[in-house]
Structures are given as structure tokens and as C-alpha cells.
Amino acid sequence: MTPEAVIAMQACARIGAIHSVVFGGFSAESLKDRIEDAGARVLITADGGFRGGKIVELKQAADLALSKGCPSIEQTIVFQRTGQTIAWHPERDLWWHEIINNQAEQCEPEWVESEHPLFLLYTSGSTGKPKGIQHSTAGYLLNAIVTTQWVFDMRESDIFWCTADVGWITGHTYVAYGPLAVGATALIYEGAPTVPDAGRFWDICQRHQVSIFYTAPTAIRALMKFGDAIPARYDLSAL
């Protein structure tokens, strides 16, 4: 997960487009199903990503998904993250960095009604066919602001780190929208909490002076087996 993922989401909101983020760990088939159900016209991806010290083949999965269907897709925008060699379809593919070089620095927001859809986000599909959940612009953003401010008692001076991926609703609310809407600094990371070692979370907290840290019980359970000695090595006084 890179800043460009959040930038793309915010850019869609800026121009009144509806985004539908898909978790990068899903299969090409899962991506295809979501694209077809949403009727998406533009796919934004990267050449690859990093997790657990390995490259995640994002563009390869996107190409495979599009080869199986997805007739609504008109363009694929590719962010260059890993620099690896990828298949290229010049009639459809565009590089992110080449597009933004020709854009104005200012973009007036598209004014929309409160019930205008902000995004579609699909359920995981673990208990049946994935369902597209639609959130409206005003209602969702109000919820993101209020819960971020009140649940976390967040201030503009805070450095807030939610470890969730933006492919899930927690990442939408507490990475892409909530902290930024209240003027706080949001930190994001790419990879796994135990790579290169089990001190990664605490190292990031120390280096960036994280004041509010929000993660999942599964991540905490994974770290508990390493004991208290590892977090004790780091200065977590800002938390």
C-alpha cells in the first residue's frame, strides 16, 4: 500500500467519480467479478507491490482479470512501484507518472449532492457472493470525521497510524478519509508487521513519533508470541 492509493481515492472524490478499491491480495477472478459488477471504466493499479519481502504481481493480476472479461474498462493506469518488467497494452495502459506530469496543480472540486455515491466497497465473499456496499458522500464523511475525532480524541498535532489496508472499510475510514478530514497526519505502510523482523511496528512508531496507533487484534496476537522484550527496545513515549 502506497500513498498513491490514498491519492487516487481522494482524486476520485475530488472530481465526483465513484471509486471501488479491491484488496491487492485478491485473485484475478475476484478482481474481475468486482469490476464487472461495478461497471468500472478505469482501473488503477501498480506494476507490483511488496509484502513479506516478496513482490506482489499486481499488474499481472489486473491483466489476467481483464483478459477474462470486464468490457467496461477503457483505460488502465499503472503506478510504477517496483520497476519490474511488465506486459504492456498500449491501446489501454497508461503510466501514472506520465499522466500527472501534464496536469494542473489545482483542481476545483465537483460539487455533488449529499447522497451522491462516494464509493462502492465489496464484502470479502467468505460467506457467499461478494456484495457491493455503497456509501454516500456526506453521510460517510460525517461518520468518518466524528468517529475519528471522538473515538480517538484526535487533534491536528497527532500522528495517526492505522495499519489497515485501504482495501477494507477500516482503511477507507481511518487511513484515507478520517484523519485527513480532521487535519491530522496519517501514516501508512507497506508489507507485513513481522518483516524484516517483529520490531517493525515499534520501529515505525519510534521513527515517526506516532501518537495514536490503531491495529487489528490478529496483528497483536501475531506479535505477542515474541514477548515484551522487542517493544521494550524502542522509545514509544510519543504513543
pLDDT of residue 192: 84
Give the residue ranges of the chain where pLDDT is below 70.
Answer: none
- Dihedral sign from CA coordinates of 74, 66, 22, 30: positive
User: Both 7 and 96 in a single domain?
Assistant: yes
| C-beta of residue 56 within 8 angstroms of C-beta of residue 48 | yes
The residue among 137, 111, 134, 112 whose CA lies nearest residue 122 is: 134
Give domain status of residue 238, yes or no. no
Give domain status of residue 124, yes or no. yes
User: Both 188 and 125 in a single domain?
Assistant: no
- Consecutive H or E run containing 29: helix 28-38
User: Both 73 and 176 in a single domain?
Assistant: no
Cell of 135: 456509501
User: Both 97 and 185 in a single domain?
Assistant: no
Cell of 111: 460539487
pLDDT of residue 71: 95
| C-beta of residue 89 within 8 angstroms of C-beta of residue 76 | yes
- Consecutive H or E run containing 62: helix 58-67
User: Both 129 and 180 in a single domain?
Assistant: no
Give domain status of residue 152, yes or no. no
User: Both 80 and 169 in a single domain?
Assistant: no
pLDDT of residue 178: 94
The rounded distance, in Å, linking the Cα atoms of 174 and 133 is 17
Give domain status of residue 155, yes or no. no
User: Both 37 and 128 in a single domain?
Assistant: yes
Give domain status of residue 72, yes or no. yes
The rounded distance, in Å, linking the Cα atoms of 41 and 44 is 10
- By DSSP bridging, strand 185-187 and strand 159-162 are parallel
The rounded distance, in Å, linking the Cα atoms of 70 and 64 is 10
Provide the domain count of the chain. 2
CA atoms in the 13 A half-sphere facing the CB of 194: 9
pLDDT of residue 155: 86
Give domain status of residue 111, yes or no. no
User: Both 91 and 180 in a single domain?
Assistant: no
Give domain status of residue 194, yes or no. yes
How many other CB atoms sit within 10 Å of the CB of residue 1?
22
Give domain status of residue 73, yes or no. yes
pLDDT of residue 194: 85
User: Both 98 and 185 in a single domain?
Assistant: no
User: Both 127 and 173 in a single domain?
Assistant: no
Q: What is the CATH number of the domain that holds 27?
A: 3.40.50.980
Domain interval for residue 178: 160-232
User: Both 18 and 96 in a single domain?
Assistant: yes
User: Both 174 and 79 in a single domain?
Assistant: no
Distant-in-sequence, close-in-space partners of 165: CB < 8 Å, separation ≥ 6: 1, 23, 24, 171
Question: DSSP 3-state assignment of 106?
Answer: coil
